[in-house]
């Protein structure tokens, strides 16, 4: 099946683990012919104002977003929020706590890398985060700079994946809390990347996917990412079938970070059709 995409609802900037500033990312989206975009930085809304201003400059339809990590039956799942109010007090309280945990975790991982024979500077990792939501991608980038890995995915695969000696688990909220925070801030919750992705290190299919999905529907999600990253047509069709079964909007996007990894999709290489955008907008609380 052939897909044509003018929307990308899964993008990251320097405010979390992307390498492009909001202004540069919006300029790239415009150059690539996109019409509707959402930036979904991890555990932060700090880039939304700059993104919106840059999107308006390029006449892009901008949807404020976020991406939460949440506990799962096994491992973790990610939940996207669209149309959120970044000034919501309850949301910001939780984000402040998650940001502090991210910093502590990253510091511990750098220390463990040093202890296990892979010297790395915390100052450089912090510098790469640029005051944003620090995480493993910044550690991976520093590892590449120091010659410990050939590209960020290589660093993830060998040095900082969940089985590696230097790995430290991060704080995760419960799925219901993530959905409640999104809904409580006027947004819509969507399950992110439910299936395996070759472009992402360690990205496997969600364990007991349908059980998880049924619970999330009860909690109040309205969509699921079908048009995601490097998904094959068969994967897209499988998720669309799940979306139809559970009454969800099939959403999606490239999950672009400008990370420099092999086969990383660029903005607009994949994304939801206009019908999905219209459905999401029709569900947005008034």
Q: What is the pLDDT of residues 230-264, one digit of tens each?
A: 999 999 999 999 999 999 999 999 999 998 888 88
| Fold type of domain 7-91+171-283 | TIM Barrel (3.20.20)
pLDDT tier, 202 (very low <50, low <70, confident <90, very high otherwise): low
Asked if residue 279 has pLDDT above 70, the reply is: yes
Q: What is the pLDDT of residues 25-46, one digit of tens each?
A: 999 999 999 999 999 999 999 9
Q: What is the pLDDT of residues 46-82, one digit of tens each?
A: 999 999 999 999 999 999 999 999 999 999 999 999 9
Mean pLDDT taken over the chain:
94
Asked if residue 111 has pLDDT above 90, the reply is: yes
For range 203-228, the mean pLDDT: 97
Asked if residue 107 has pLDDT above 90, the reply is: yes
For range 210-224, the mean pLDDT: 99
Q: Which residues, 6 or more positions from 130, have their beta carbon under 8 angstroms from its beta carbon? A: 14
CB-based contact 229:270 (threshold 8 Å) = yes
Q: What is the pLDDT of residues 80-96, one digit of tens each?
A: 999 999 999 999 999 99
pLDDT at 286: 75
Domain pair 7-91+171-283 / 96-160, same fold:
no
| Fold type of domain 96-160 | DNA polymerase; domain 1 (1.10.150)
User: What does the domain layout of the chain look like in residue ranges?
Assistant: 7-91+171-283, 96-160
Q: What is the pLDDT of residues 115-172, one digit of tens each?
A: 999 999 999 999 998 888 888 989 999 999 999 999 988 999 899 998 899 999 999 9
Asked if residue 1 has pLDDT above 90, the reply is: no
């Amino acid at each position: 099946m052939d897909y044509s995409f003018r929307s990308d609802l899964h993008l990251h900037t320097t405010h979390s683990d992307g390498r492009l500033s909001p202004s540069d990312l919006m300029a790239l989206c415009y150059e690539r012919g996109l019409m509707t975009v959402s930036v979904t930085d991890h555990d932060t809304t700090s880039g939304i104002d700059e993104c919106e201003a840059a999107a308006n400059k390029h006449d892009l339809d901008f949807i404020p977003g976020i991406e939460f990590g949440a506990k799962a039956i096994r491992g973790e799942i990610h939940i996207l929020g669209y149309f959120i109010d970044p000034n919501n007090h309850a949301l910001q309280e939780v984000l402040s706590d998650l940001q502090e945990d991210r910093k502590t975790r990253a510091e511990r991982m750098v220390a463990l890398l040093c202890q296990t024979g892979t010297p790395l500077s915390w100052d450089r990792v912090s510098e790469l985060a640029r005051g944003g939501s620090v995480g493993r991608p910044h550690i991976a980038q520093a590892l590449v700079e120091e010659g410990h890995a050939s590209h960020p995915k290589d660093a993830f695969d060998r040095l900082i994946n969940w089985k590696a000696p230097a790995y430290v688990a991060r704080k995760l909220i419960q799925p219901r809390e993530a959905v409640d925070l999104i809904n409580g801030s006027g947004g819509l919750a969507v399950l992110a990347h439910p299936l395996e992705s070759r472009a992402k290190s360690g990205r496997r299919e969600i364990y007991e996917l349908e059980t998880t999905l049924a619970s999330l529907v009860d909690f109040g999600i309205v969509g699921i990412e079908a048009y995601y990253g490097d998904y094959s047509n068969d994967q897209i069709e499988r998720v669309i079938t799940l979306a139809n079964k559970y009454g969800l909007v099939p959403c999606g996007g490239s999950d672009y970070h400008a990370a420099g990894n092999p086969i990383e999709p660029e903005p607009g290489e994949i994304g939801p059709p206009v019908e999905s955008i219209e459905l999401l907008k029709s569900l947005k609380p008034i």
